[in-house]
Amino acid sequence: MIVKRGIGLFLAEGATERLLVSERERFLSCYWPRISLMIERLGLDRAELLAESPAQPAKVAPSDAPVAA
């Protein structure tokens, strides 16, 4: 990230894509296993969950906050 005084912050070329890749990896390695176990523990049908999910999911900013298990 580059700071230009009086102008703002600028991201390096390709920073957005690298951020998305790391967020996907974190989701699949950290969050998804816990979510998957909870789905299984509650006896929820994955297809039913997908069918009931909102058509347009809310936009959520990336976060390092852990998901409650």
Which residue has 């176990």 as its token pair? 37
Asked if pLDDT for residue 56 goes beyond 80, the answer is no
Average pLDDT, the chain: 78
Say what the pLDDT of residue 69 is.
47
9-52 confidence digits (pLDDT tens): 667 788 888 888 999 999 999 999 999 999 999 999 988 888 88
> What token pair was written down for 58?
């809310």
Say what the pLDDT of residue 50 is.
84
Say what the pLDDT of residue 67 is.
54
pTM of the predicted protein model: 0.54
Q: Is the dihedral of CA 40, 46, 52, 57 positive or negative?
A: positive
Write the DSSP symbol of residue 43: T
